[in-house]
Chain A
Amino acid sequence: MSVRPTQSGTFTSVKQGLAMNLSRLIRAQEQVSSGRRILRASDDPAGASIALSLRRQQSQVEGWTQAVNDGRPLLEAGASRLEEASNLLSEARALTLQGLNGTLNQSDRNTIADQIEAIAESLASTANTQHGDRFLFSGTATDTKPFEFVGQGSERHVQYQGDSGSLQALVGRESRVELGVPGNEVFGRTSYRDTAYSNITGIQSGTQSDWGQGYETLQLRTDSVNGAMGQGVTLAGSSRDSILGPHELTIDATAGTIQLGTGAAVEIPSPLPTEMELVDEDGSVLVVDMSAWSGSDFTTTVTGSGSISLDGTVWTSFTGAETNLQLTDEDSGAVIHVDTTAVTRAGKESVVFQGANNTIDTLLALANDFRNEQGLSIDQVNSQVNLHLGELADGHDHLLQGLGQLGARHARLNQSENQLGELSLQLESLRSGIEDADLSEVVLDMTRAEQTLQVAQATGARLLQHTLLNYLG
Chain B
Amino acid sequence: MADIALGIGLQGLLSAQSALDTLGHNLANANTPGYSRQRLSLQAQRPLSMGGTMVGRGVRTDGIRRISDNVLNRRIVSQTSIAAKLDAGVLALSGVESMLGGIGGVGIGAMLDGFFESVSSLAGDAGDLVRRNGVVQSAESLTNQFHQIADSSEGLKGDTLEQVRALSKQVNSLAVQVRDMNKEIASSEAGGGSANDLRDQRDVALQSLANLVDVRYQESATGSVTLSIGGHLLAGENLVQELRAELNDDGELEMYVGDTTRPVEVRGGQIGGLVDFMQNTVPELEARMDTLARNLIFEVNRAHSTGIPSAGGFQTLTSTNSLEDIDGDGQYLDQRIGDSGLPFDIQDGTLAINVTNASTGEVRTHQIEIEDSMSVQDLLDRINAIDNVAATIDGSGRLQMTGQNGNLFDFSNRLDGMPDEIGSFGGMRASVSSLGEEPFVLADGMTFDFDGIAGPFTITLDASDFDNISQATASEVAGVLSQNPMLATNGMRAAAVDGHLVLQSSSGGPTQGFDVTGGSALAAMGIPTGTYSGSTISTSVSISGAYSGAANQELTMRPLGDGQIGSTQGLQIEVRNQMNEVVAVLDVGSDYVPGTPLDLGDGLQASFTVGELSATDQDFLVVHALADSDTSDMLAAFGMNAFFSGSDAKSIGVSQRIVDDPSLMSASKTGGAGDNGALLQILKLQSGHVEGLNSGFSQYFGDVVGDVGFDIETKQRAADTERYLVDSLQQRRDEVSGVSVDEELVDMIRFEQAYTASARFIQVVQQITDTTLQLI
B686 close to A60 (CB less than 8 A): yes
A162-203 contacts to B (CB < 8 Å): 162-165, 167-170, 173, 176, 190-194
Contact partner, B674, options A5, A40, A51, A142, Cβ 8 Å: A142
Name, among A51, A66, A142, A213, the residue most crowded by chain B CB atoms within 10 Å (CB to CB).
A142
B323 at the interface (CB under 8 A from A): no
Stretch at the interface among B123-131, B191-199, B258-266, B473-481: B123-131
A152 at the interface (CB under 8 A from B): no
How many A-B pairs have beta carbons closer than 8 Å: the answer is: 243
A209 close to B676 (CB less than 8 A): no
A132 at the interface (CB under 8 A from B): yes
Given the known interface contacts A40-B97, A42-B712, A169-B124, the answer about A140 and B675 at a Cβ–Cβ threshold of 8 Å is yes
B731 close to A9 (CB less than 8 A): yes
Given the known interface contacts A38-B103, A194-B593, A328-B536, the answer about A66 and B121 at a Cβ–Cβ threshold of 8 Å is yes
Stretch at the interface among A261-269, A420-428, A444-452, A465-473: A465-473
B641 at the interface (CB under 8 A from A): no
In the complex, per-residue mask of A453-473: 1 if CB is within 8 Å of any chain B CB, else 0: 000000000000001110010
CB distance from B363 to the nearest CB of A (A): 11
A239 at the interface (CB under 8 A from B): no
Nearest CB to that of B675 among chain A residues? A140
CB distance from B125 to the nearest CB of A (A): 6
B699 close to A53 (CB less than 8 A): yes
B123 close to A67 (CB less than 8 A): yes
A192 close to B687 (CB less than 8 A): no
B595 close to A211 (CB less than 8 A): yes
Given the known interface contacts A7-B740, A333-B609, the answer about A143 and B705 at a Cβ–Cβ threshold of 8 Å is no
B698 close to A16 (CB less than 8 A): no
A401 at the interface (CB under 8 A from B): no
CB distance from A139 to the nearest CB of B (A): 6
B31 close to A63 (CB less than 8 A): no
- Tell me which residues across on chain B come within 8 A of A168, comparing CB atoms: 676-677, 680
Given the known interface contacts A48-B706, A142-B672, the answer about A356 and B103 at a Cβ–Cβ threshold of 8 Å is no
Name, among A56, A141, A165, A168, the residue most crowded by chain B CB atoms within 10 Å (CB to CB).
A56
Contact partner, A140, options B674, B740, B746, Cβ 8 Å: B674
B109 at the interface (CB under 8 A from A): yes
B113 close to A211 (CB less than 8 A): no
- Tell me which residues across on chain A come within 8 A of B30, comparing CB atoms: 7-8
Nearest CB to that of B594 among chain A residues? A211
B257 at the interface (CB under 8 A from A): no
Cα(A57)–Cα(B746), bound, Å: 72
A418 at the interface (CB under 8 A from B): no
A273 at the interface (CB under 8 A from B): no
B709 close to A40 (CB less than 8 A): yes
Name, among A40, A134, A162, the residue most crowded by chain B CB atoms within 10 Å (CB to CB).
A40
B334 at the interface (CB under 8 A from A): no
Contact partner, A46, options B102, B706, B734, Cβ 8 Å: B706
A127-174 contacts to B (CB < 8 Å): 132-134, 138-144, 162-165, 167-170, 173
B716 at the interface (CB under 8 A from A): yes
CB distance from A456 to the nearest CB of B (A): 16
CB distance from B336 to the nearest CB of A (A): 39
Cα(A59)–Cα(B120), bound, Å: 10
- Tell me which residues across on chain A come within 8 A of B676, comparing CB atoms: 167-168
A12 at the interface (CB under 8 A from B): yes
Cα(A4)–Cα(B590), bound, Å: 112
A328 close to B537 (CB less than 8 A): yes
Q: How many residues of A contact B (CB 8 A)?
A: 79
CB distance from B622 to the nearest CB of A (A): 22
Cα(A12)–Cα(B735), bound, Å: 12
A441 at the interface (CB under 8 A from B): no
B672 close to A163 (CB less than 8 A): yes
A435 at the interface (CB under 8 A from B): yes
A42 close to B716 (CB less than 8 A): yes
CB distance from A56 to the nearest CB of B (A): 4
Name, among B93, B673, B687, the residue most crowded by chain A CB atoms within 10 Å (CB to CB).
B673
- Tell me which residues across on chain B come within 8 A of A335, comparing CB atoms: 537, 594, 609-611
B549 at the interface (CB under 8 A from A): no
Nearest CB to that of B567 among chain A residues? A208
Given the known interface contacts A41-B705, A209-B594, the answer about A7 and B124 at a Cβ–Cβ threshold of 8 Å is no
Cα(A8)–Cα(B113), bound, Å: 55
- Tell me which residues across on chain A come within 8 A of B109, comparing CB atoms: 52, 55-56
A52 close to B674 (CB less than 8 A): no
A3 at the interface (CB under 8 A from B): yes
- Tell me which residues across on chain B come within 8 A of A3, comparing CB atoms: 735
Name, among B102, B112, B674, B735, the residue most crowded by chain A CB atoms within 10 Å (CB to CB).
B674
- Tell me which residues across on chain A come within 8 A of B741, comparing CB atoms: 7, 467-469
Given the known interface contacts A59-B116, A143-B310, the answer about A5 and B740 at a Cβ–Cβ threshold of 8 Å is yes
- Tell me which residues across on chain B come within 8 A of A328, comparing CB atoms: 536-537
Cα(A338)–Cα(B686), bound, Å: 59
Name, among B540, B698, B703, B706, the residue most crowded by chain A CB atoms within 10 Å (CB to CB).
B706
B116 close to A209 (CB less than 8 A): no
B746 close to A468 (CB less than 8 A): yes
CB distance from A355 to the nearest CB of B (A): 9
B133 at the interface (CB under 8 A from A): no
B740 close to A190 (CB less than 8 A): no
B727 at the interface (CB under 8 A from A): yes
A8 close to B125 (CB less than 8 A): no
In the complex, per-residue mask of A32-59: 1 if CB is within 8 Å of any chain B CB, else 0: 0000001111111110110111011101
B103 close to A140 (CB less than 8 A): no
A134 close to B742 (CB less than 8 A): no
B450 at the interface (CB under 8 A from A): no
Nearest CB to that of A211 among chain B residues? B594
- Tell me which residues across on chain A come within 8 A of B55, comparing CB atoms: none
In the complex, per-residue mask of B100-123: 1 if CB is within 8 Å of any chain A CB, else 0: 101110000110111011001101
- Tell me which residues across on chain B come within 8 A of A67, comparing CB atoms: 120, 123-124
- Tell me which residues across on chain A come within 8 A of B441, comparing CB atoms: none
Contact partner, A193, options B97, B593, B702, B746, Cβ 8 Å: B593
B709 close to A169 (CB less than 8 A): no
Given the known interface contacts A52-B701, A56-B687, A140-B670, the answer about A134 and B124 at a Cβ–Cβ threshold of 8 Å is no
In the complex, per-residue mask of B567-596: 1 if CB is within 8 Å of any chain A CB, else 0: 100000000000000000000001011111
A83 at the interface (CB under 8 A from B): no
B239 at the interface (CB under 8 A from A): no
- Tell me which residues across on chain B come within 8 A of A64, comparing CB atoms: 120
A140 close to B705 (CB less than 8 A): no
A117 at the interface (CB under 8 A from B): no
B404 at the interface (CB under 8 A from A): no
Nearest CB to that of B739 among chain A residues? A6
- Tell me which residues across on chain A come within 8 A of B698, comparing CB atoms: 52-53, 56
B682-708 contacts to A (CB < 8 Å): 683, 686-687, 698-699, 701-703, 705-708
- Tell me which residues across on chain B come within 8 A of A57, comparing CB atoms: 687
- Tell me which residues across on chain A come within 8 A of B611, comparing CB atoms: 335
A165 close to B566 (CB less than 8 A): no
A192 close to B674 (CB less than 8 A): no
A41 close to B708 (CB less than 8 A): yes
A71 at the interface (CB under 8 A from B): yes
Nearest CB to that of A208 among chain B residues? B567
Cα(A138)–Cα(B670), bound, Å: 13
- Tell me which residues across on chain B come within 8 A of A190, comparing CB atoms: 595
B654 at the interface (CB under 8 A from A): no
CB distance from A146 to the nearest CB of B (A): 11
A210 at the interface (CB under 8 A from B): yes
B736 at the interface (CB under 8 A from A): yes
A207 at the interface (CB under 8 A from B): yes
Given the known interface contacts A45-B713, A141-B672, the answer about A170 and B123 at a Cβ–Cβ threshold of 8 Å is yes
Query: 23 pairs across A/B with beta carbons < 8 Å?
Result: A1-B735, A6-B738, A16-B727, A41-B706, A42-B716, A48-B702, A49-B702, A53-B698, A56-B686, A59-B117, A64-B120, A70-B125, A132-B125, A134-B674, A143-B673, A143-B674, A144-B673, A165-B670, A165-B672, A169-B123, A192-B594, A192-B596, A467-B741
- Given contacts A12-B730, A39-B102, A468-B745, 8 further A-B pairs with CB under 8 A are A40-B709, A41-B100, A49-B703, A59-B117, A63-B116, A139-B672, A143-B310, A167-B674
